[in-house]
Chains A and B, each alone.
Chain A
Amino acid sequence: MKKIHFSVQIFCSQSSLERYDVKGLLLSGQSDENLVHASRSGDRDAYAVLAKRHYKRVFVACLGMLGRVHDAEDIAQETMLKGLLYIGDLRKPSQFGSWIVKIARNDCISLIRRRSYANKLIAQRPVPPDDTLAPYQDVRQAIEKLPPDARLPLVMYYFGGENVRDVAQELNLSRSRVYQRLRAATKQLHRLLEKQGDVI
């Protein structure tokens, strides 16, 4: 990858490289493995491409576990920085995606534990208002109240591209098991929304 970049630099000036982000284009076409190697040697741009490529997957996993957009964003960002910090420890560079999602899940579990411990003494802090999501407050609250086993596949399905096969692969479950959890989550969500008086 460095060779390609170098050969492009021979034909293009530095300014045109920066102007048209040739390096970004080159990096975006690289495999995870190459990007991990480049990141390990200190190429921050390579890691940025890698982080951007897997950010949504990490964010959705965090959202599925935590149920709050703000928390998910915090943990997803923290996870990406941890990934940069510990990328040297990654044994199989081709499996960066699974590795980073695993870190995100561990961080989420850690946050849930801390929060459940803190909530024994003090009420949960209010979430900062997000105007764009204001009309969906009821459904968001209902999602938050779902148990994690039900919430995770539901969020991954709707927020991650509505693909049961991907959800099954990500959660290491059979498709029928994912369908079963999705059905259970839909029913629980309906009951919660009924309680909130949002549904007929």
Chain B
Amino acid sequence: MNKDCQKMRDKMASHLFGALSRRDEDALTQHIAGCSECRKHMQALGDEQSLLRECAEKVDAGMGPREERMLEAVKRFNPRESTERIMPRRTIVPVRIAKLAVAATLLIAAGYFAGRFLAPPPVDIERLQAALEPIIRQSVAEQMSRDRDRALERHAVRLKKELARQLHDALNEFAAGTLAASRAATEQRLAELIRLIEAARTVDHYQVAVAFERIESNRLQDKTRFGEGLVRLTSHRNEMPGNKQ
């Protein structure tokens, strides 16, 4: 393949889409006539184009059913449901599940092999026990001490609360007694006061009645004296010389 062939092969693709000038078309036709390789290439490109067209026709022939399926989906579509739930017949979910499964398998396998090959040799139990015993003893003692302190603390708190409660109750009781005694004394004093007031009022009434009686008797005496006076005055007048008839 020479330089001309390379150029012509570039033009062949344009030829397929009808994008060559008349001059280039003539040049291509002339070249193909004399070059079997390029003729084969041109033939292959033509075959591929035919194949693409046939494939497109087949796909186009399936457009009717596809449209029907789409229209059916449009009819059935409920806007309240999310798009993701309605749609894909093929979703990413299985891939995710598979991905998780692969990850889980890899983790298990890694754990198994790590345990098998990287685990430390078995330890001497007695030595381990001897080494751990004082630590465990100390830890247990510390734990017991902590527990005891906590229990004492809890007990002290409980006692404190109980004492406070008892004091509160006693104070309440004392206050209630004092209040009752105070109320009785007050009532007694009030009753005595009322009695005294009543006695005073009775005495006042008596004195007022006596006063009224005196006034009445005085008034009667005055009236009698006034009548006697008038009689005396009348007799005096009659006895006067100028008044004799």
Q: B-contacting residues of A (Cβ < 8 Å)?
A: 44, 47-48, 51-52, 55-56, 59, 63, 69-71, 73-74, 76-78, 80-82, 84-85, 114-115, 118, 121-122, 125, 132-133, 136, 139-140, 154, 157-159, 164, 179, 182-183, 186-187, 189-190, 193, 199-200
Contacts and interface: CB of A to CB of B under 8 A. Distances in A.
A121 B58 CA distance: 34
Contacts of B70: 51-52, 55, 76-77, 80
Given A76-B66, A139-B48, 17 more contacts: A44-B75, A55-B66, A63-B59, A70-B90, A74-B88, A84-B77, A133-B55, A136-B51, A158-B55, A179-B17, A183-B14, A186-B13, A186-B16, A190-B45, A190-B48, A199-B44, A200-B44
Contacts of B48: 139, 186, 189-190, 193, 199
A168 B79 CA distance: 35
B63 A82 contact: no
Q: Which 3 A-B residue pairings sit nearest by Cβ, starting from the closest? A: A183-B13, A136-B55, A118-B95
Interface in B24-68: 40, 43-45, 47-49, 51-56, 58-63, 66-67
Given A52-B67, A158-B52, A159-B56, A80 B92 contact: no
A80 B14 CA distance: 35
Contacts of B102: 121-122
Given A47-B74, A77-B73, A159-B56, A179 B19 contact: yes
Interface string B112-128: 00000000000000000
A159 B66 contact: no
Contact of A158 (B10, B13, B53, B86): B53
A61 to B, nearest CB: 14
B52 A139 contact: yes
Indicate the member of A48, A52, A81, A122 with the most B CB atoms within 10 Å: A81
Interface of B is mostly: helix
Interface in B70-109: 70-71, 73-75, 77, 79, 83, 86-90, 92, 94-96, 98-99, 102
Interface residues of B, number: 48
A190 B49 CA distance: 10
B56 A158 contact: yes
Contact of A132 (B14, B40, B58, B96): B58
Indicate the member of B10, B40, B61, B88 with the most A CB atoms within 10 Å: B88
B36 to A, nearest CB: 12
B98 to A, nearest CB: 5
B69 interface: yes
23 contacts: A55-B67, A63-B59, A78-B87, A81-B77, A81-B86, A84-B74, A85-B83, A118-B92, A118-B99, A121-B98, A121-B99, A122-B98, A122-B102, A132-B61, A139-B51, A154-B52, A158-B52, A159-B60, A164-B17, A164-B19, A186-B48, A190-B45, A200-B40
A74 B13 contact: no
B54 A136 contact: yes
